[in-house]
Structure 1
Amino acid sequence: MAAPIGVHLEFRGGAELLFNGVKERHVTLPTQSTPWDIRQLLMWIKNNLLKERPELFIQGDSVRPGILVLVNDADWELMGQLDYKLENRDNIVFISTLHGG
Structure 2
Amino acid sequence: MSTSDDIITTSNGLGYTSSSAVHPEQLVKPPAAPSAREDTIEIKIDFGGGLHLLFSSQPSHKIRIPRNIPAEDGSTQAQPVNMRYLVKWMKSNLLSEREEMFGDGDGVRPGILVLINDADWELEGELEYELRDRDEVVFISTLHGG
Q: TM-score range by the shorter chain?
A: over 0.9
Q: Is 1:54 matched with 2:54?
A: no
Larger radius of gyration: 2
Output the amino acid matched with 1:54.
E
State the TM-score, normalizing by the size of structure 2.
0.66
Q: Which has the higher helix share?
A: 1
Shift of 1:11: 0.8
Q: Structure 2, unaligned stretches of length 5 or more?
A: 1-37, 71-76
CA deviation string 1:1-37 (max 9, x = no partner): x931110000111110101110001000035322110
Deviation beyond 4 Å, 4+ runs, structure 1: none
Distance 1:61 1:99 in 2: 23
Q: Structure 1, unaligned stretches of length 5 or more?
A: none
RMSD over equivalenced CA pairs, Å: 1.2
Aligned to 1:6: 42
Q: Which has the higher strand share?
A: 2
How many percent of aligned residue pairs carry the same amino acid? 52
**Count of paired positions:** 100
State the TM-score, normalizing by the size of structure 1.
0.95
